[in-house]
Amino acid sequence: MKKERKIISQIFMAIMLLFFYAPIIYTVVFSFNGNKSLTHLSGFSLKWYEKMFSSSDMMSGIVYTVLIAVIATIVSTIVGTITAIGLSKSNNVLKTMVERTNDLPIMNPEIVTAIGLLMFFSSLGIKKGFVTMLLAHIMFCIPYVMLSVTPKLRRLDPNLADACMDLGATPFQALIKVIVPQIMPGIISGALIAFTMSFDDFIISYFVTGNGVNNISIMVYTMSKRINPSINALSTIIILLITIVLVLINIIPLIKERKQVK
Amino acid sequence: MKQFRNMAYPYVVWIAIMIVLPMLLIVMYAFTKKGNDVTTFRFTLENFTYFFSDPIFIDVLERSLVIAVLTTVICILLGYPVAYIIANANPKAKTMLVLLITLPMWINMLVRTYAWMGILQDDGVINGILGYFGIAPIKMLHTSFAVVLGMVYNFIPFMILQIYTSLTKMDKSLLDAANDLGANKLQRFLKVTLPLSLPGVISGITLVFLPAVSSFFIPKLLGGGQYVLIGNVIESQFLTSGNWNFGSAISLIMAIIIMLSMYIAKRVDKDTSAKTGGAK
């Protein structure tokens, strides 16, 4: 009876995992397809990878995606951390006010945030393109950084910075040498979240961009109207990179643990 | 520590400009007519009456809600067992399974949705497999089925992770207690595990329902050009017909529906946690 139940649950898990990975396996397999079909395989070829690297549209999409993700991550991590530290010393009114406002882009459907920004940039007469996309990404990344930094600050001993300054450190030194190192794990996870949010964003980018500035998501969306297996090649590279990073992140602590046990 | 307090002020200015102002713009546009600018501002409800008097838009709203509810229900029915199995697996399998569930989430949603197009096509992978067994091809792409499948696929990890967290937080000794008191397996699940995991289910519901109602690229890619949900109407108002006023009004209607459902979900959450003795 117990064994039966175990087998049933294993079969169920296997089916669900197949469901999760079917599109990923499909993408990888068809990126090596010898012909243009998205449904029939014929032979192994790397021509879609060649096509991808020789397509200036796709390469510029990749460059914009990475560039915006890197700048947005750096800016939002710094600003988010500074603001979170400032708020931790502020009164509760300001704190709740900022937290509630930060909730807006997180809780609102992305399309609502997107059209708000679209109208905002247009009414200011800012030309849609790289700058608007970057500003939008910084805007929606900062709340996530603050969400991951604030809990770390709450656990920080408030006397630490005071003690540091009593010993003659300037406020800036206290900040850099005492507070920031203590909340580093929160800052790093915030930066990671910001990077992936920016890298994967489609809806907001799609509404606020213009002048041929596209990221990978917009490219996939506009190209999906025609058959284009180069998308599969690009996707496969992204899948490979993300898998390597995630596996490394998850395996390194395990290896460290094992070494300590020895 | 007053020195540090000043560090928050620049961001207050930033959110006033980048978050609050755009939201105010949506409200302003929703209640005005095209052609009005700040100087000739005139309040009107025309955009809203236009939406609710046109059966086409009511249909779209209804379809969006039905699809979103259906997606949420399927996510609970499939996600709960998955979360339950993971929560009861041995520690090593647990970390492995959680990694396996989260890994696809890191890959671009567009990319994964695009792949489903190839799988579901009339001469696609699934119909190819069915063909081997002599089953005639079934039309799957550009149907409601494809749209719901795409939404369940994209949003179910949120549901699984929420239920999984609430299941692992559960006090296991409660199950032993129930066992000692003579409850059988089914009773233990229905009277102990299920009520204690409800908060996870409810936060899962909000995480699935919200993107499902407003999604516009999943219906566009998997439902085809004719398949219109409320998100698609908003998109076309802004990017093709350029009627910002009407588009703003529709997004306001959508935002209100979502806020209402979140409020109800929170109330249910409070009621159930009160009943189960405030278990979190």
Name the domain count of chain B. 1
- What's the pLDDT tens digit per position in A68-124? 999 999 999 999 999 999 998 888 889 899 999 998 888 888 999 999 999 999 989
Distance from chain centroid for Cα A102: 17
The neighbouring-strand residues paired with A33 are A44
Name the pLDDT band for B1 (thresholds 50, 70, 90): low
Integer Cα distance of A39 and B123 in angstroms: 6
Integer Cα distance of B9 and B5 in angstroms: 8
Interchain CB distance below 8 Å, B3 and A101: no
Query: Residue B274: is its pLDDT beyond 80?
Result: no
- With respect to residue B154, please indicate whether it lies within any of the assigned structural domains: yes
Give B97→chain A minimum CA distance, Å.
Answer: 9
Give the residue from B2, B18, B142 with the most A CB atoms within 10 Å of its CB, the best one to mutate: B18
Give the residue from A7, A98, A100, A115 with the most B CB atoms within 10 Å of its CB, the best one to mutate: A115
Q: How many CB atoms lie within 10 A of CB B232?
A: 20
Interchain CB distance below 8 Å, A79 and B11: yes
Q: What residues in B contact A88, CB-CB < 8 Å?
A: 4
Integer Cα distance of A176 and B171 in angstroms: 41
Q: What residues in B contact A196, CB-CB < 8 Å?
A: 106
Interchain CB distance below 8 Å, B111 and A86: no
Contacts 24+ apart (CB under 8 A), A244-253: A246/B99, A246/B102, A246/B103, A246/B106, A250/B95, A250/B99
Q: What residues in B contact A157, CB-CB < 8 Å?
A: none
Both structure tokens of A30: 């068809």
- With respect to residue A154, please indicate whether it lies within any of the assigned structural domains: yes
Using CA atoms in the order B191, B261, A113, B148, what is the torsion angle rounded to 10 degrees? 70
- What's the pLDDT tens digit per position in B189-246? 888 888 888 989 998 998 999 999 988 899 998 988 788 999 999 999 998 888 899 9
pLDDT of res. A44: 83
Integer Cα distance of B80 and B85 in angstroms: 9
**What are the φ/ψ torsions at residue A148 (nearest 5 degrees)?**
-95, -20
Which chain B residue has its CA at the smallest distance from A163's CA?
B1
- With respect to residue B177, please indicate whether it lies within any of the assigned structural domains: yes
CB contact at 8 A, B178 and B185: no
Give the residue from B3, B96, B100 with the most A CB atoms within 10 Å of its CB, the best one to mutate: B3
Give A181→chain B minimum CA distance, Å.
Answer: 16
CB contact at 8 A, B228 and B58: no
Interchain CB distance below 8 Å, B111 and A250: no
- With respect to residue A30, please indicate whether it lies within any of the assigned structural domains: no
Q: Which of B5, B22, B107 sits opposite A86 (nearest CB)?
A: B5
Here the CATH number for the domain that contains residue A63 is 1.10.3720.10
- From the list A14, A18, A251, A20, the residue with the least C-alpha distance to B85 is A14
Burial A166-176 (b: 16+ CB within 10 A, else e): eeebebeebbe
* Number of cross-chain residue pairs from A and B with Cβ atoms under 8 Å apart: 209
**What is the sign of the dihedral through the CA atoms of B121, B127, B129 and B131?**
negative
Q: What residues in A contact B2, CB-CB < 8 Å?
A: 89
Q: Which domain holds residue B224?
A: 50-275
Q: Mean pLDDT highest for which of A33-37, A241-245, B61-65?
A: B61-65
From residue A118, how far is each of A99, A243, B41 by CA, in Å? 23, 34, 20
Integer Cα distance of A232 and A220 in angstroms: 10
- With respect to residue A136, please indicate whether it lies within any of the assigned structural domains: yes
Which pTM does this prediction carry? 0.86
Name the pLDDT band for B275 (thresholds 50, 70, 90): low
- With respect to residue B205, please indicate whether it lies within any of the assigned structural domains: yes
Q: What residues in A contact B102, CB-CB < 8 Å?
A: 246
Residue B108 CB partners (closer than 8 Å, separation 6+): A199, A200, A202, A216, A217, A220, A235, A238
Q: Which of A83, A120, A221 sits opposite B110 (nearest CB)?
A: A221
Interchain CB distance below 8 Å, A235 and B107: yes
From residue B179, how far is each of A1, B62, B184, B277 by CA, in Å? 18, 46, 7, 20
ipTM value, please give it: 0.85
Integer Cα distance of B19 and A11 in angstroms: 47
What are the residue ranges of helices labelled H in chain A?
Answer: 2-31, 47-54, 56-88, 92-107, 110-124, 130-154, 159-166, 171-174, 180-182, 184-200, 203-208, 216-223, 230-261
Distance from chain centroid for Cα A45: 31
- From the list B260, B261, B234, the residue with the least C-alpha distance to B245 is B234
For residue A235, which amino acid is it?
Answer: S
**What is the sign of the dihedral through the CA atoms of A76, A78, A83 and A88?**
positive
- From the list A108, A106, A107, A127, the residue with the least C-alpha distance to A118 is A127
- With respect to residue A50, please indicate whether it lies within any of the assigned structural domains: no
Here the CATH number for the domain that contains residue B196 is 1.10.3720.10
Name the pLDDT band for B280 (thresholds 50, 70, 90): very low
Q: Which of A112, A221, A239 sits opposite B107 (nearest CB)?
A: A239
Q: What residues in A contact B234, CB-CB < 8 Å?
A: 111, 115
From residue B126, how far is each of A27, B28, B116, B224 by CA, in Å? 14, 48, 10, 18
Q: Which domain holds residue A151?
A: 58-261
Give A152→chain B minimum CA distance, Å.
Answer: 16
Name the domain count of chain A. 1
- What's the pLDDT tens digit per position in A205-246? 999 998 888 898 898 888 877 777 888 888 898 888 888 888
Give the residue from B4, B220, B237 with the most A CB atoms within 10 Å of its CB, the best one to mutate: B4
Distance from chain centroid for Cα B87: 23
